[in-house]
Amino acid sequence: MATEHPASSENIVGAGNTTMATWAGAIVRALHEAGCDPAAVLASVGIDQARTDDTAHRIPVHVMTALWRSAVASSGDPAFGLRVARQVNVTTFHALVMAAMASDNLPQAVDRLCQFASMVSDGLDMQCRANDQVMTITVGSKPGYPRFAAPSVEATIGALVLIGRQMVGTGVRPARVMFRHRACCSPAVYRDFFQCPVNFSARCDGISIALADLPRDALITRSPSLAQANATMCKQYIDQRSQGRLQAAVRARLFSRLEVSAPLLLPLVAEDLAMSERKLQRLLREEGWQFRQIIDEVRADYMLTLLSDGDVQLQQAADRLGFDSVSAFNRACQRWHGCAPGLLRASLRDGSFSSSGSL
């Protein structure tokens, strides 16, 4: 997944905001199909193509955002997200798709997709609600995470529909597809893809399915043993991702403090996390981190936030980050991002910024 404005203050939520690298792999395949050079597109945003088939590798969401933007521009297809949806297969997201497809019925499959959605992207929040007539699956962001960009939302919902057709048969269609954003191209393109009405500027991103249209029989892809095995693998993946997340919580607190110009002091962060300074330092060491190191990385990220705002002057940015002079701010920019603030600001403005020069 990816967010709408990678460097805005609402969009950098710390190192924990990542996406499974194989989502980029689906983009690579879609670029190939569109006759584009994936290597050049990936290089432009600092992604190693060799890692895009590795489900254990994670890519920061702001880098994925840059990839989506570059891929749409390179392909010349404003509905590029639908191309990517066609490239999602049973192994794209580790064991997630197989865990869903091997479920007994569609509600169980949807429950598993919702339960393990954060495998795909840390901020992804999928929910399912149903009444007597309609089941609605929504795709959104967890509290504190930014709204996802239009192409990634379209790819996600498109992939859900295509996977659903494999599970229940091609004759079953959604009652309606909803997008919060405006149509990126002719609405007819979306109607042809989803084979149902598509609403834009809606209140949520999601799919509605008439319960009367769903088959009463078990899924045609049902396999209880496979479903259980793959659901177990999904849980293990998330459990492993959850280990060592104190540093992510510290990053989130530091970022929140930067936003309100509050001091980045160990005692205050420890108090925020309801633990002693000594315990916080000990637990961070066990995860392989030092508090000072995390502060530097968070400040480096927040520098991107400030420089992406053309109304923020360099002196203001230096003050917000706690530097006593613009020259100190300039030296930190060179150290963290490999260039002067002016060049960094220009690269953020034209979309050419790559994370490879950052910490």
Residue-level pLDDT at 243 = 61
Please provide the average confidence, as pLDDT, over all residues in the chain: 87
- Residue 282: phi and psi, rounded to 5, are -65, -45
Q: Is the pLDDT of residue 10 over 50?
A: no
- Residue 82: phi and psi, rounded to 5, are -70, -35
Average pLDDT over residues 93-114: 95
DSSP 8-class letter at 338: S
Measure the CA–CA gap between 291 and 269, rounded to whole angstroms.
10
Residue-level pLDDT at 5 = 37
Average pLDDT over residues 1-22: 54
Express as a percent the part of the chain with pLDDT over 70. 91
Run of H or E residues at 206: strand 206-210
Q: Is the pLDDT of residue 126 over 60?
A: yes
Q: How confident is the model at residue 74 (pLDDT cuts 50, 70, 90)?
A: very high
Q: Is the pLDDT of residue 6 over 90?
A: no
357 against 222, higher pLDDT: 222
Q: Is the pLDDT of residue 143 over 70?
A: no
Torsion of CA 249, 251, 257, 258, to 10 degrees: -160
Q: Where are the alpha helices (DSSP H) in the chain?
A: 21-33, 38-45, 61-75, 80-85, 96-101, 106-115, 150-168, 187-194, 224-242, 246-259, 266-272, 277-286, 291-307, 314-320, 326-337, 341-350
Residue-level pLDDT at 359 = 32
User: Which of 53, 58, 25 minimizes the C-alpha distance to 41?
Assistant: 25
**Residues constituting the chain:** 359
**Is the alpha carbon torsion for 180, 181, 187, 189 positive or negative?**
negative
Q: Which two tokens stand for residue 98?
A: 């197989």
Q: How confident is the model at residue 9 (pLDDT cuts 50, 70, 90)?
A: very low
Give residue-wise pLDDT tens across range 160-199.
999 999 998 877 789 999 999 999 899 999 999 999 999 9
Average pLDDT over residues 143-157: 85
* C-beta separation of 268 from 146 below 8 A: no
Measure the CA–CA gap between 97 and 160, rounded to whole angstroms.
9
Q: How confident is the model at residue 2 (pLDDT cuts 50, 70, 90)?
A: low
Average pLDDT over residues 199-208: 95
Average pLDDT over residues 230-256: 83
Residue-level pLDDT at 353 = 60
Q: Is the pLDDT of residue 289 over 90?
A: no
Q: Which two tokens stand for residue 37?
A: 């050079």
Measure the CA–CA gap between 235 and 35, rounded to whole angstroms.
37
Measure the CA–CA gap between 227 and 98, rounded to whole angstroms.
7
Q: Is the pLDDT of residue 202 over 50?
A: yes
| SS3 label, residue 148 | strand
Residue-level pLDDT at 170 = 72
Report for 76-85, 122-131, 215-224, 244-253: range of highest mean pLDDT: 76-85
Residue-level pLDDT at 334 = 92
Q: Which two tokens stand for residue 224?
A: 């209880």
Measure the CA–CA gap between 62 and 218, rounded to whole angstroms.
40
Residue-level pLDDT at 144 = 59
* C-beta separation of 105 from 163 below 8 A: no
Q: Which two tokens stand for residue 89?
A: 């297969």
Q: How confident is the model at residue 4 (pLDDT cuts 50, 70, 90)?
A: very low
* C-beta separation of 90 from 152 below 8 A: no
Chain centre distance of CA 10 = 14
Sheet with 198-199, edge to edge strand ranges? 124-130, 134-141, 206-210, 176-178, 198-199
* Number of Cβ within a 10 Å radius of residue 9: 16
One-letter amino acid of 284? L
Give residue-wise pLDDT tens across range 322-344.
899 999 999 999 999 889 999 88
